[in-house]
Amino acid sequence: MRAARRWTAAAVAVALSATLAGCVGAAPAHPLGGDAGTRPGTPAARSATQKPTATPTPTVDPVVAYAKQRLANQTLRQKVAGLFMFHLPGTDPAALRGYVDRYGLGGMILMGDNIPGTPAALAAQTATMKASDPGLPPLIGVDEEGGDVTRLGWDDQPGADTLRSQQPAATQAAFARRAQLLQDAGISVNFGTVADVTADPSSFIADRVLGTEPGGASARVAASVTGERGTVFSTLKHFPGHGETEADSHHAVPATPVSKADWGTRDAPSFQAGISAGAELVMFGHLAYTQVDAAPASLSPAWHRILTDELGFHGVSITDDLRMLQDTGLPQYQDPGENAVQAIAAGNTMVLDVLPAGGDPDALIDAIVAAVQQGRIPASQIDADALKLLELRRSLAPKE
């Protein structure tokens, strides 16, 4: 951006000079030749004989350059496959690696059934998962909040149920330690920062929030992101916030009539704080603020525009597990391929889906490819999403 402003300033200077020259008219010819402004011996003449200053070559970000080159060599199907993060049960490193390679996935989420008994075993497992393409490793994510949601048995740091009664510094310290445990295990993405806010003990999210009111929640959400910064990628969840409902989105699509204005006062601040602190990902929840959009936020273009245009987030947006929509039993969400299409069309960069046993990754990938070919999703959007994820993944590669 700074280089762009220098070029703009230079262009403005040239244009201004030309305008002023035009205003005063052409200089009269000098008897010795040339015009009066460049006659021999004048400062202008000396300046005219000097070599022009070399224009600095713009610095090319090697991560971006690499990602663009990879994108240029991908088919549409390969680009689409890279937008998915799936799950495969078990701790067999070869099977997990084969799953990533077979489908060309952008990432894998580790659940409890993927975690072996020791840190060393998990590190070996994730190293194998990334071995096929070390220059572009898949994102490996996990829900490691602490407290009620803990995947790593050796994570001894407190969760939100403890941290929300302590100063934000305690949250930063806990998440810094947690991030180091994840990095040591080869995990790159933590779906660990719950930015939802509620004081309602009946809410299914109540035990997992970092604050019961906007101020305290915002301070601790920012602290958690700060603690993880530079170690793992931080994720804020579950946008736009489960705190206004009691229903559990694992079994229903919670809905609230809360207005956009009230949301902006009560629920938005903690997400804004996490974004300002540098969170790389935001996870969209399967819940509906009906005054904004009757659709779940995870499938809502309106909520994606709000996140980008009003909260200023330009990182990676990812759905909560799309399987949850099917689990509601609602007929409109029983086609997993259509759910994935709507998720990408709404503005998600990445689709997270913990497929049921026998679930077919090809069917979801093919559904989005078909949607692009039919014009439901612009090819340019796929390119932009794929490039964003390629850049994120490339930034994880070992330095050459």
Residues serving a catalytic function are 250, 320
290: DSSP letter: T
- Compute the 3-state secondary structure of the chain and give helix, strand, coil in percent, each to the nearest 5: 50, 10, 40
Rounded distance between C-alpha atoms, residue 297 and residue 301, angstroms: 8
Question: What burial letters (b/e) apply to 38-67, b meaning 16+ CB within 10 Å?
Answer: bbeeeeeeeeeeeeeeeeeeeeeeebeebb
Token pair for 39:
């006659």
Task: Classify residue 133 by burial, with Cβ atoms within 10 Å: 0-12, 13-18, 19+.
Answer: middle
Token readout for 210 is 């970092």
The residue assigned the tokens 């999403």 is: 385
Residue 235 bridge partners (DSSP): 281
Residue with tokens 């915002």: 218
Cα of first residue to Cα of last residue in the chain, in angstroms, is 27
Cβ–Cβ under 8 Å, residues 323 and 339: no
Cα separation, 266 vs 372, whole angstroms: 37
The closest alpha carbon to 65, from 391, 388, 316, belongs to 391
